[in-house]
Structure 1
Amino acid sequence: MSAADPLVVHVIQDVLDPFTSTVPLRIAYNNRLVLAGAELRPSAIVSKPRVDIGGSDMRVLYTLILVDPDAPSPSHPSLREYLHWMVSDIPGTTGASFGQELLVYERPEPRSGIHRMVFVLFQQLGRGTVFAPDVRHNFSCRNFARQHHLNIVAASYFNCQREGGSGGRRFRPESSQGE
């Protein structure tokens, strides 16, 4: 990864430690491929995406998570990293639909600002070695990886803001929106 890579600029250090991507990860919502830094509105991400995982060995298992490090707002991320989805025991060369959904997909619905929605793919030690947290808010990718002995093998992200939203990253109190 180069220093100009959108993932490095917008996610590494803030959410993830630096890593080298070793497994292809393909994410698509309604057949629209998610590219790092793309913008998707809540109406486009109502249902969980199709996630295809590369690799060359079905015996290697992966865990996929989707987090929002900007919840509830980028200026005041008091719920960071909000966990929207978790799937474990995904065999290599398949997709998330072949894994075990530990936390059902919860559609992102940002209320203020532009939120980064981060997908992280971890390689597991073995089947049944990953467990869902008790709560979705204040999740930590770093702590989760340490606790479950996971290695990051791929990641991607997209930006999301409310349907009528426009502009850059700034905080606007709920009461002043639409004024």
Structure 2
Amino acid sequence: MHILPLFTLLATATAAALPLEKRTDTCSTASSSTLAAAKAAFTQAKLVPDLVPNFDPTLSVQANFNGKQVALGNSFSATETLMEPAVSFSAEPGFDPAKTKYTIILTDPDAPGPAAPILKDFLHLIISDAQPSCIASQARKTLASYQPLTPLSIAAHRYTFLVYRQPPNYTPPPSVNYLPGVRAAFDLNGYVTQGGLTLVGGNFMREGLSSTVCAITPGCTQDGKGYSV
């Protein structure tokens, strides 16, 4: 007579333990249509190959400046990007989000102006040891602190957020570009190769200076070159 209640109790206890073993199941992954849209946007914007040699995302990247979302090429003003953006991303299929870590890089392939990007890739931010947004407790490390976006042309720059999967036991490559005043001509692809990083996602936005702001900004041009002659 007591066997059924005992079985029910054991079954209930087992079910209660399952969420602890499968806690990563609550992490969402990006849909195929979302990933396809990101790949198409990067290709259309010519970030492939201007910035990265190829782009086949396996996770989606979200970024916002004071609540305004970055949305695959939408426009921002200089006043909207003064503060550091919040960056998050979805889980990556096949990788345990609790154990896999990522590096976030924000860079400008159009500095000082898209017509003559002689200072590409200008580095604005590097964060290592990031994890998907479903992991509440993270120990992210800022390697290169945020430097506000500084386009020097009315022509818009393609400011790009890239997320890379770190290899096990990752040690960030040494770089002088971590310093606040040494951000121009960052060797993005060299950094990635040296660190053994794998590109898994990205997002981007556009920002240039309005004609009014450009008129009072030293070095700003209207022809897209960045630096007046």
Do they fold alike, i.e. is TM over 0.5? Answer: yes
- 2:90 counterpart of 1:43: no
Greater strand content: 1
- 2:194 counterpart of 1:158: no
Percent identity for Structure 1 against Structure 2: 23
Against the structure 1 CA distance between its residues 105 and 4, is the aligned structure 2 distance closer, same or farther, given a 3 Å change threshold?
closer
Match of 2:60 among 5, 10, 24: 24
Against the structure 1 CA distance between its residues 107 and 27, is the aligned structure 2 distance closer, same or farther, given a 3 Å change threshold?
same
- CA–CA distance in 1 between the matches of 2:130 and 2:194? 19
- CA–CA distance in 2 between the matches of 1:175 and 1:110? 13
Match of 2:173 in 1: 131
Greater than 4 Å deviation, 4+ residue runs: 172-176
- CA–CA distance in 1 between the matches of 2:39 and 2:55? 15
Which secondary structure state, in structure 1, belongs to the residue aligned with residue 192 of structure 2?
helix
Alignment of 1:76-115 (within 5 A): 76-93=116-133, 94=135, 98-112=139-153, 113-115=155-157
Match of 1:8 in 2: 43
Deviations 1:115-153 (A, max 9, x none): 110111000013552135203211132222111001000
Counterpart AA for 1:74: P
CA-based RMSD of the aligned residues comes to 2.6
Counterpart AA for 2:190: N
- Contact 1:21/1:153, CA 8 A, preserved across alignment: yes
- CA–CA distance in 2 between the matches of 1:85 and 1:143? 16
Deviation at 1:30, TM superposition (A): 1.2
- CA–CA distance in 2 between the matches of 1:164 and 1:14? 26
TM-score, with length taken from structure 2: 0.68
- 2:154 counterpart of 1:119: no
- CA–CA distance in 1 between the matches of 2:127 and 2:162? 11
- 2:106 counterpart of 1:66: yes
* Segment of structure 1 superposing worse, 80-89 or 19-28: 19-28
TM-score, with length taken from structure 1: 0.85
Structure ID, larger Rg: 2
Deviation at 1:165, TM superposition (A): 6.6
- CA–CA distance in 2 between the matches of 1:68 and 1:124? 22
* Segment of structure 1 superposing worse, 4-13 or 37-46: 4-13
Match of 1:146 among 193, 202, 217: 193
Greater helix content: 2
For structure 1, the 5+ residue unaligned runs are none
How many equivalent residue pairs? 173
